[in-house]
């Protein structure tokens, strides 16, 4: 049987434990306060540097020769960091000669060379940051290196496609479109914006990519590709649209609706009009598809198509769809008001009454 610990020894041990905890607390508090003080000093230095740098930067931008080299030689490390932030901000908002001047400053700061370095490490965040810089800078890029090094991550592929677009590399539209659409997951907002920019004035690359790959895309990606076509300028009338027509009978309503929107861009052409069966489309069981038909095809229909739409509207159960009909066919419906279904006439009255307020 063990003997009890003497009370004096126990009190001494507890005292040493309490003293140790107190010392640890003091050290931790001191370190925290020290970091806070250093952070506060750094913030004040940065704020002071920003107050000095911003007016000087804009004054030099107004010069014919800003002489960035001489100015940077006088800047402190804190001021150079402030300049890097200002360059990032201005490159996203400036255009023309002002943008060229800021890019010249970025070159003197060696931002392009430094942006390339993260491609040799495994840090995804640093690579995305580097790609963001490369998209902004007038800096030579290695197309093959970017495409191979950043091909496994959809966000990186989107960033690489944006670099190709901003640098106007050969076949940027085709290469960037294929990079973006090599995924089963829906494109993020940045990726959708890049896909649009790559195809905005000529969506041939997107149409040709869809011709060979649309059956491999997920429903979400397929719908996004079709929605992008809706906002792009139309390609030539001999563009490959067969796969878009095939999507009119897709099992997913969002895909069918997006296909209608895409074809609405070409519906002014008689050959395209003749292949769009309004009777079949307005009979779709899903209201999203009917809404798309009313919104994108009503203005291109002939008198028979308009009559088909009006007859269908008599049994239309979706109020939003009826409102779209009234909005898209206001003048035609006003001319034929006597034969309108009551609910459609109510929507027409609302649209007409609202016109003075919306112009």
Q: What is the pLDDT of residue 263?
A: 95
Q: What is the pLDDT of residue 200?
A: 95
Per-residue pLDDT band at 36 (split at 50, 70, 90)? low
**Tokens 């973006």 found at:** 180
Per-residue pLDDT band at 7 (split at 50, 70, 90)? low
Q: What is the pLDDT of residue 174?
A: 94
Q: What is the pLDDT of residue 180?
A: 93
Q: What is the pLDDT of residue 126?
A: 83
Mean pLDDT is lowest, of 12-21, 301-310, 314-323, for: 12-21
> CA distances (Å), 171 to each of 88, 249, 263, in order?
27, 32, 25
Helix (H) or strand (E) holding 17: helix 7-61
Decide if 253 contacts 289 (C-beta within 8 A). Answer: yes
Q: What is the pLDDT of residue 51?
A: 78
Instruction: Write the burial class of residue 111 (CB in 10 Å: 0-12 exposed, 13-18 middle, 19+ buried).
Output: buried
Cα atoms in the 13 Å half-sphere on the side-chain side of 96: 3
pLDDT, mean of residues 152-176: 89
Q: What is the pLDDT of residue 111?
A: 84
Decide if 240 contacts 229 (C-beta within 8 A). Answer: no
Express each pLDDT in 54-80 by its tens digit.
Answer: 888 888 888 888 888 888 888 888 888
Nearest alpha carbon to residue 202 among 252, 239, 155, 241: 239
| CA R_g for the chain | 32
Per-residue pLDDT band at 108 (split at 50, 70, 90)? confident
Q: What is the pLDDT of residue 31?
A: 60
Percentage of the residues of the chain whose pLDDT score is greater than 70? 85
Q: How open is the CA angle 143-194-131, to the nearest 5 degrees? A: 45
Neighbours of 12 (CB within 10 A): 11
Contacts of 294 (CB under 8 A, 6+ apart): 282, 309, 321, 324, 325, 328
- For residue 152, pLDDT over 80 is answered with no
Query: Cα separation of 57 and 176, whole Å?
Result: 35
Q: What is the pLDDT of residue 248?
A: 96
Express each pLDDT in 225-248 by its tens digit.
Answer: 999 999 999 988 788 999 999 999
- For residue 358, pLDDT over 60 is answered with no
- For residue 210, pLDDT over 90 is answered with yes
- For residue 337, pLDDT over 70 is answered with no
Nearest alpha carbon to residue 293 among 315, 338, 262: 262
pLDDT, mean of residues 268-292: 90
pTM: 0.78
- For residue 288, pLDDT over 70 is answered with yes
- Mean of the per-residue pLDDT values for the chain? 84
Per-residue pLDDT band at 334 (split at 50, 70, 90)? confident
Q: Please give the residue that has the higher pLDDT: either 204 or 32.
A: 204
Q: What is the pLDDT of residue 255?
A: 97
Per-residue pLDDT band at 24 (split at 50, 70, 90)? low
Q: Please give the residue that has the higher pLDDT: either 207 or 137.
A: 207
> CA distances (Å), 239 to each of 5, 209, 257, 258, 276, in order?
93, 12, 20, 18, 17
């Amino acid at each position: 049987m063990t003997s009890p610990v003497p009370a004096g020894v126990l009190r001494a041990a507890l005292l040493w434990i309490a003293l140790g905890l107190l010392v640890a607390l003091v050290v931790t508090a001191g370190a925290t306060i020290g970091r806070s003080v250093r952070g506060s000093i750094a913030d004040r230095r940065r704020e002071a540097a920003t107050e000095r740098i911003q007016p000087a930067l804009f004054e030099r931008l107004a010069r014919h020769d800003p002489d960035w080299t001489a100015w940077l030689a006088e800047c402190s490390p804190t001021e150079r960091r402030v300049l890097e932030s200002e360059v990032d901000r201005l490159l996203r908002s400036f255009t023309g000669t002002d943008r060229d001047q800021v890019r010249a400053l970025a070159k003197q700061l060696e931002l392009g060379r430094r942006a390339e370095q993260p491609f040799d490490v495994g840090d995804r965040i640093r690579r995305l940051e580097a790609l963001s810089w490369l998209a902004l800078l007038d800096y030579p890029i290695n197309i093959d290196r970017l495409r191979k090094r950043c091909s496994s991550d959809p966000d990186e592929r989107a960033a690489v496609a944006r670099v190709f677009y901003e640098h106007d590399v050969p076949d940027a539209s085709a290469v960037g479109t294929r990079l973006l659409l090599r995924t089963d997951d829906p494109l993020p907002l940045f990726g959708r914006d890049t896909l649009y920019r790559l195809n905005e004035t000529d969506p041939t690359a997107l149409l040709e990519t869809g011709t060979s790959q649309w059956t491999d895309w997920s429903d979400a990606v397929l719908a996004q590709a079709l929605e992008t076509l809706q906002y792009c300028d139309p390609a030539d009338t001999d563009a490959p649209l067969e796969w878009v027509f095939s999507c009119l009978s897709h099992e997913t309503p969002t895909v069918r609706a997006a296909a209608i929107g895409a074809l609405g861009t070409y519906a002014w052409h008689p050959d395209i009009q003749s292949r769009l069966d309004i009777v079949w489309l307005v009979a779709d069981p899903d209201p999203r598809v009917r809404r798309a038909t009313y919104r994108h095809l009503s203005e291109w229909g002939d008198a028979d198509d308009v009559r088909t739409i009006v007859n269908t509207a008599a049994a239309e159960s979706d109020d939003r769809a009826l409102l779209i009909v009234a909005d898209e066919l206001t003048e035609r419906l006003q001319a034929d008001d006597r034969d309108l279904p009551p609910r459609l006439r109510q929507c027409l009255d609302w649209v007409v009454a609202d016109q003075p307020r919306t112009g």
